Amino acid sequence: MENRLQDSELKVMNVIWREQPVKASAVVQAMSEENGWNANTTYTLIKRCVAKGAVERSDPGFVCRALIDKSTVQRSETDRLIDKIFDGSADMLFASLLSRNKLGADEIEKLRSIIGELE
């Protein structure tokens, strides 16, 4: 992918990841319902995603398919957040997340399991 996806482009990508292969007209409908966007805005964002190498457009029907995995973008965006806000410290991000929410026993156990898998 050439450039980082902007927040509005990520919203479009979420629809494509969720429903692919999906016609652009269905993405327009979803963005109208979810965000109140007009068709021109959504088509512009889809075209930007195509230009960035994140989406493949096929015809007939302007069908969209993601060329990048959601998990790849999530990792990249998480790394950017850690670098930008937490000076590269993942443990500071983790501590910040934990301090904001009361976690239930099930959530704590799930986190322990994830950490155990990483060790």
Domains in the chain with CATH codes: 7-66 (1.10.10.10), 70-118 (no CATH)
pLDDT at position 103 is 77
pLDDT at position 9 is 97
Relative orientation angle of helices 7-19 and 39-51, to the nearest 10 degrees: 90
Give every residue of the chain whose pLDDT is below 50, as ranges.
none
pLDDT at position 1 is 54
pLDDT at position 29 is 98
**How many other CB atoms are found less than 10 A from the CB of residue 89?**
13
The whole-model pTM stands at 0.80
pLDDT at position 111 is 81
- What is the longest distance spanned by two Cα atoms in the chain? 51
Round the CA-based radius of gyration of the chain to a whole number and report it. Answer: 18
Distance between CA 14 and CA 31 in Å, rounded? 10
pLDDT at position 96 is 85
